[in-house]
Each structure stands twice: as C-alpha cells, then as structure tokens.
Amino acid sequence: MADTSRTMIVWKRRLPGLIMTMPAVIVFTAMFLVPTVLGFVLSLTNWNGFSLNLTFIGFENYLRAFENPRSVDAAIFTTVFAVVTTVVCNLVGLALAVLIAGPGRANTVVRAVFFYPYIISALIIGFLWSAMLAPQGVFNSILANLGLPSIPFLTDPAFAQTSVIVTGIWAHYGFSMILYIAGLKSIPAEYYEAATVDGAGPWARFKNITVPLLAPIVTVNIVLGLVTALRVYDVVLALTAGGPAGSTETVVFQILKNSFDNGKLGYGAAQGVILLIVTAVLGIGVTLARRNAEKKVAD
Amino acid sequence: MPTTETISTALVEGPEELTLNTTAMRAVQRERRRARRSTPTSNSVGGLILKWTILCLVAVVMLTPLYILVISAFKPQADIIENPLGFSPGSFTFDYLWASITSEKFNVIQAYGITLLFVLLVNVFSIGLAAPAAYVIARGQSKWHLALLLVFVSGLFIPGQVTLIPVVFVLRMLGLIGTIPGFVLFETAGTLPVTIFLFVAYLRTVPRDIDEAAALDGAGKIRAFWLCIFPIMKPAVATVIVLHSIGVWNDFVNPQVILGPSSGIYTVTTGVYAAIGQFSTDYTTVFPTLLLTIAPAIIFFLVMQRYIIGGLAAGATKG
C-alpha cells in the first residue's frame, strides 16, 4: 500500500518530463530508429517495394554489391568525388577565408558571392550547369562563336566526371570558407601581435599561429565534406543523369536507381547499409585521427 | 585555445556577438580589428592588387552562371545560342517567363505554396517536439537523460538516404506513403538530431535560476517551460529555423520518393525535375523555370544573409 503510493508520487514527479520527451521519442523511433534497424533486415531480403511479405536470401545482396562492376565503379567514382572535392574545397576555402576574414563592406559582399550556391538546391545547381555545359549549351555556343571546336563536357566519360567534380567544388567551397572565417575570427589578435613583435613574417605567422589554431575547424570541414560528398546524388541526377554510360553514377544514385527504378529495394538497402558503415567509419576515423593534430595545439 | 565548442557557443548567440559580450571584450575586438587591418597582406599596394585580382576572378566564376541564367530567361532560343553572353534590348521579352509561370506542366506558384507549407510544418513540428525534450535532457542528471541524448545525436551520423528505403516500408504499413503527413513526419524525424543537439547545447548555458523563478510562480513544469524558458531560446531557435528552412526547401529525394509523382503533390525541386527532365534543350523553358525556382532562395539569402551564414556555421561547428 505504502509502496504503491510511493511509486505514484515518483511517477507524478516524472510525468511532466515524460510528456515533454515522449512525442519526440516516438516520432524519432518510428521514422528513424526503426527504419535504420529495418534497413539491415531488408538488406537480407529480396523486397520489391510493394508486398509486405519478405523472403530472406542471406547476404546475397551484399555479395552482388561487391561483385557488380556497376556498383563497384559507382563506389570508386564516389570516393574520388568525395576526396577531391573535400581537399580542394578546404584549400580554396581556407585561402579565400584568410583573404576576406577581416571586417568591411567589400569583404562581406565578396563572402556572399562566394557562398550563395550553397543555399540553392543541388538539383537546381545541376540543371544550371547542365545548361552551361551541354553539347548545345552556353559554353559550347561561346566556343562555336569563337570558331573553336566544341568540348564534350557531359558526353565524354572523363570530361563528365570532371564536370561533376568541378560543379561540386563550385557549389561547396563557400561553406568551408564560412567555417574557416568563423574560426579565424576566434583567434586572438594578441597572438599575431606578439609574433610580429618577435619578428615573424606573414608566412611564419600563418604556419605557426593560424594553421594550428584552426585544427578543430579543419576536422569539422573534412568530416562534413566527406560525409556530405559520399551522399552526392541530386547534382549528378540533374547534370549527367549518371551518364554517359553510367560513368558518373554515384553510390546513392545506384541505391535509388536499384530501389525505385528497378524495384530491387533489398539490394538498395544493402548498398545503403554499406554506405552507412563506410560513412560512420570514416567520420569516426577522421575525428580520432585529427584528435592528435588538435591535441598538439592544446599542449 | 579556441576549441570548436567556444567558437560555436559564440556563434549561437548571433554572428555579430562573437566573443563581444562585455565592454571590455568589445575594446579587445576593436583593437583586434585594427590589428587585422594592418596585416602586411593588406597594407602593401602590390598585395592589395593581387588580393583583389584573385577575388574578382573567383567572383566572375561564381557569378557568370547566374548572369547567364538571368539574361537568358528573357531571350528567345536563337538568341540564347547565338549570343549567350550578350543582351540586345530588341529581343528582350517577358513571354517565356510568363509561359513558365502559367505552365501546365509545372505549376510553380502552387509549388512555392506547397514547399513553403512543408518548410513551415517541419519547423513547427521539429521545434515543438525537440524544445521540451531538449529541456528535459539538458536539466536531467540521470543516466537515462544522457542515453536519450546519445540516441538522438547518433542520428547525426546516419545518412537520410539510408533510412529512406526502410521508411517507405514503414509508411506503407502505416498507410501514410504518398501523403503529406507521412512526408512531414519523416522530414521532421530527420531534423530532430540537429535540433535537439543545438537546443541542449544552448539550454546548458541558460542558468537554472530561471527554472526556479518559473517554479515559484506556481506554474506547472510544462507551462513554465513554454512561458519562461522557450522565449529565452530565441537565438538557438533562429539557427534551427535557418537550417531547416534551407534543408526542406532544397530537399529533392525525400519528396520525390515519399510523395512520388502519383500523388500529384510537387515541391519546387520535384516540380522542376518533372518539368525540365523531359525537354532540357528547350532553353526558353529551362532558363525561365530555373530563374523562378532560384529567385526565392536568392532573395531569402540576400535578406537573411547574416543569420544564414551565422546559423550554418553554428550548426556545423556544433555538430
């Protein structure tokens, strides 16, 4: 009797907390946690997307993902895309951030000009660049007007892959730059003053003050850059639709094509699980590896 | 040492308030500005010329596609191909833009409305669900609260496309596939990790005295939260609104898969895809349509620039 009334009191105290957390927990569980677990389950089946009956086929989908040349090529291109865009976005972003981190109206305007593609949908960016680079597009019209031969920006595999990568960089380096500017603003000016008094030149100051103190931002930029780039899809769909001859298909492109165009959702789910594992390993791996670089600063 | 955390804590309070909270700090900031202005890169004439040459070149690369997009939206096809960079007043016409606005293939006005509705719903649900939960998590001290936070934050590392296929299964079972509630539920769930993470981080900087003051008023815990605590969370809420508005407005895959062409519900992105995918060499349709879809984003960016850049930087460095 006393026991039940005590539990009653405890529950009454906990009730507001429960009411405040439960809606979020329920939505998140139903639409995120359950699907994540279900993704592993579906990857072991040959689900076609419509029936709710599942036949388990073991790890066949995974074997197929590793054996199918199409999906292997997609994985290779996605990796190249992720590494190249991340490296270039960081180098360009940092260089420009150093140039325009200071206050002033001109710097603010330039910052907005470099950054604006980031807030436009990647799909629209893809269509815009497709209009620029298509065989009858703007750039080839300009070349033709100048009496020059046309360039197969989107119709030759190597050119098309380069076009996708360049478009990715064009749209994304501004974001790296913005993060670097935020980082630069947080470095106390006294450090630079002290270094100048000690006779350090601009390059020495950049190398010995800016770079080490930006280490945490570098980590964030690399992790975010890689994780975002590994999911690249919209821009490819609009720019090349995966072509020519599948040369610009990415992992997510494969996942969605297999799942929704070919009705092999089990196979798509397996590729999704692989992507999830690669993303998690890379994200955690880079963060741990960078921890050393960040530690050096703290010492 | 500036760690990621200190930078982002400063950023959550708004881009202009970076580390300058007190008069003393403000003086330091002023000093710092003076110091930066006198760095060698900017006080030698040669350096200045080099700097602005580089910046102008990059600006040209960034703005050329936008310039071509805008002028081409008002030109006939032949003019677009023969004279892509130029602009002759003689061939200027609103016809193609008007044709795109009134196109039967893609009702752009309706798409604006639907996408705005989604932006609004996702923001309301995301904040409405996340804020009280984040408050309980931020104030709680038991291992359950920590576990709950970890569960939500783990969502930051799971790509949305990976949950998309299984979500189709779940929504099919619930009978919500191809419906607006189904889409809004999934989109909201996808935003919860970031929202809860940013809210918890912000609420931990809010002193507990306020809780006690609210409790003294005799208000219940839930009422006290919405009336006293939530209004204080304005900067974090603004950051979250910026992140979600851009995210939902630009999202293509989720509406395309969950709503699907058969539902007849088109957002700006899925509508453009349906309209342009088919005839992408008819530039008198492509450019006006793209202009119509880019314009709201650009205007929003120009008006809210400071908050967008600050919010994105805060969201990213926190996560």
CA distances to A87, A90, A170, B294 from A117, rounded to whole Å, are 19, 16, 8, 10
In terms of CA atoms, which chain A residue is nearest residue B53? Answer: A99
- Condensed to tens digits (0 to 9), the pLDDT of residues B145-200 reads 899 998 898 888 777 777 888 888 889 888 888 899 999 999 999 999 989 999 99
The CATH homologous superfamily of the domain defined by A61-298: MetI-like (1.10.3720.10)
Which positions ≥6 away from B146 have C-beta within 8 Å?
Answer: none
Query: Are the Cβ atoms of A189 and B35 closer than 8 angstroms?
Result: yes
Which of A42, A98, A113 lies at the smallest CB-CB distance from B165? A42
Interface check for B303 against chain A (CB to CB < 8 A): the answer is no
Better-scored residue on pLDDT, B3 or A171: A171
Q: Show me where the domains of chain A are located.
A: 1-42, 61-298
CA distance B213 to chain A (A): 18
The C-alpha atoms of residue A170 and residue B222 are separated, in whole angstroms, by: 47
CATH number of B108-318: 1.10.3720.10
Among B99, B159, B271, B208, CA closest to A252: B159
pLDDT reading at A136 higher than 60? yes
Which positions ≥6 away from B69 have C-beta within 8 Å?
Answer: A128, A131, B287, B290, B291, B294
CA distance A299 to chain B (A): 10
Q: Give the residue ranges of chain B where pLDDT is below 70.
A: 1-43, 215-219, 278-280, 315-319
Burial B243-257 (b: 16+ CB within 10 A, else e): bbbbbbbbbbbbbbb
- Condensed to tens digits (0 to 9), the pLDDT of residues A70-97 reads 889 999 999 999 999 999 999 999 999 9
The C-alpha atoms of residue A173 and residue A89 are separated, in whole angstroms, by: 4
Which of B253, B302, B313 lies at the smallest CB-CB distance from A182? B313
pLDDT, averaged across chain A: 87
Residue of A53, A119, A210 to mutate when probing chain B, most B C-beta within 10 A: A119
**A164-181 average pLDDT score:** 94
One-letter amino acid at B243 equals L
pLDDT reading at A297 higher than 70? no
- Condensed to tens digits (0 to 9), the pLDDT of residues A85-133 reads 999 999 999 999 999 888 888 888 999 999 999 999 999 999 999 989 9
- Here the tokens at position A8 are 């009653």
- Condensed to tens digits (0 to 9), the pLDDT of residues A40-81 reads 888 998 888 777 777 888 888 898 889 888 889 999 999 999
Q: What is the dihedral of CA A239, A245, A249, A254, to 10 degrees?
A: 120
Q: Give Cα B232 to chain centroid, integer Å.
A: 22
Instruction: Note the pLDDT of residue A299.
Output: 54
The C-alpha atoms of residue B223 and residue A8 are separated, in whole angstroms, by: 22
- Condensed to tens digits (0 to 9), the pLDDT of residues A245-256 reads 889 999 999 988
- What ipTM goes with this model? 0.85
Interface check for B243 against chain A (CB to CB < 8 A): the answer is no
Q: What single DSSP character describes residue A150?
A: P
- Condensed to tens digits (0 to 9), the pLDDT of residues A1-10 reads 456 677 777 7
Q: Show me where the domains of chain B are located.
A: 108-318
Q: What single DSSP character describes residue A135?
A: T
Query: Are the Cβ atoms of A103 and B33 closer than 8 angstroms?
Result: yes
- Here the tokens at position B203 are 């609420």
3-state helix, strand, coil in chain B (%, to 5): 80, 0, 20
